[in-house]
A and B are shown apart, each in its own frame.
Chain A
């Protein structure tokens, strides 16, 4: 779908991105991960035809984005970091304007706007002025404008920026719902956020691509100990012993937790979670929580994107 080769962008003498090369296949949901200033926004701006690169090529289904930008722009939807909203317009009016701008035939605009509002949960707000919307809804309108013309490629720059936890969950669900209909590139500096949404991660650091692959592949490659946490009550020692017997478990550590419970940290792949739950329950545990270890994601992120780290 999209092929990026040796892409570089300099702001004066400073390189924002250097020799980026990657490929994204049709229908994939890809996460663009990096710290602030790593080059994510610049890359998405180049892919979205907002900026021209200093060097390198971007091809969309074999067509060069630099030589045939107008035809290709109609196939791309772009949400910048700051949603590009005209405050004085109503939601529906704004989306109709954007649809017209993106070459949607006039007779199809109303249907496209209604469909997009339905999908992004904005139907009730069709007549609302954008200036009166909350941050979360403004972000949704931003996603809606990127979607309204039915693009093949959707570029979302930090779509969960500044959202509260509930809005964050809704935004993740929205992005997941786009899988299959669109090829999606989402940028973020929060690994757990995009790890749950994306099929594959592209990690940039100081303008260079330092790693790519699924979360599991990256863990494997970087030697980050896979980990699952269980918060249990009941016969803790028996439960720990049962967990150690599950094939694939490398180690189990036990820590006391509030309320007479215990926190068991299990070194094991994510895929073993159902087996771990079953083993714990069979051993008589009261299972309060079972989750991927937060430490593990943090450690993976620091290894991938942290300054001075090596991938």
Chain B
């Protein structure tokens, strides 16, 4: 079997066999459910608006879950001393990173899709388009993928999982608040910062049912850059 898939499968099983994976899953689903009940369903709104608010409120827990899922990916390997097993195998560093990322992404995607019963309730009791539903979930998966990749980068830099989570969250928050920098800087920096904002600039179209190529490309690019940087960190470790 391809090394990437082999590593991804082991990683996925790791989430399913340890408490960490189940705790993250339970907390994510609980918070998503509470937010949906408390805010998305609040007042009398049109079905489309409720769905838009559902995706908006689901995006935060998805990002947080991504950071917590990613923190173990490489930091735990360093903590447990299992990284030499991967380094000593005929596997490229990028395959290690990709395999680990894919395992976590499949788990995160499973958690995200497990929230589908809430939009389905709206579908049953109101009028929403399937396109809106698909666009919203695509946005959540892309946002989750980018957050997971940033978390993986944090995990590659840290020796412990706690530090990994802090580093991943720091990078994520820096991108989240890029719009604040945009508001206090002059062009062309203001437009640059505005376009870099992880949530504000790129997620709202998905939550309202639109799929724009530039948003898809943005999230894929963030994912790629973060994974590329992670690969470079792993390579650099061999020199230290």
Contacts and interface: CB of A to CB of B under 8 A. Distances in A.
B106 interface: no
A45 B84 CA distance: 8
Nearest to B77: A84
Interface string A37-60: 000000001001111100000000
Interface residues of B, number: 25
Given A45-B84, A84-B84, A145-B85, A103 B240 contact: no
Given A86-B10, A88-B13, A52 B84 contact: no
B84 to A, nearest CB: 4
A interface: dominant SS: loop
Interface residues of A, number: 31
B104 to A, nearest CB: 15
A137 interface: no
A69 B238 CA distance: 13
B55 to A, nearest CB: 34
A200 B87 CA distance: 28
Contacts of B7: 101
A101 B81 contact: no
A86 B84 contact: no
A101 B17 contact: no
B92 A106 contact: no
B18 interface: yes
Contacts, number: 71
A86 B81 contact: no
Interface stretch (A74-82, A221-229, A280-288): A74-82
A102 B90 contact: yes
B1 interface: yes
A84 B85 contact: yes
B157 to A, nearest CB: 18
B86 interface: yes
Contacts of A98: 85, 89
B82 A86 contact: yes
B172 to A, nearest CB: 27
A50 B87 contact: yes
Interface string B1-25: 1010011001001100110000000
A178 B109 CA distance: 46
Contacts of A307: none
B14 A86 contact: yes
Interface string B86-98: 1111111000000
A84 to B, nearest CB: 4
B83 interface: yes
B86 A78 contact: no
Contact of A102 (B13, B83, B89): B89
B17 A50 contact: no
B117 interface: no
Given A49-B87, A73-B90, A82 B81 contact: yes
Nearest to B5: A100
A45 B87 CA distance: 10
Contacts of A103: 90
A88 B90 contact: no
Nearest to B92: A70
A102 B90 CA distance: 6
Contact of B84 (A78, A88, A97, A100): A78
A147 B95 CA distance: 23
B90 A100 contact: no
A65 to B, nearest CB: 12
Listed residue (A52, A86, A89, A106) with the most chain B CB atoms within 10 angstroms of its CB: A86
Given A80-B81, A82-B81, A97-B6, A88 B87 contact: no
Interface string B202-240: 000000000000000000000000000000000000111
Interface in A96-114: 97-98, 100-103, 106
Contacts of A85: 80, 82
A101 B92 CA distance: 11
Contact of B238 (A50, A76, A82, A84): A50
B8 to A, nearest CB: 12
B50 to A, nearest CB: 40
Nearest to B237: A51
8 contacts: A50-B84, A73-B89, A73-B90, A76-B88, A83-B81, A89-B13, A101-B7, A101-B91
Interface of A: 11, 45, 48-52, 69-71, 73-74, 76, 78, 80, 82-89, 97-98, 100-103, 106, 145
Interface of B: 1, 3, 6-7, 10, 13-14, 17-18, 80-92, 238-240
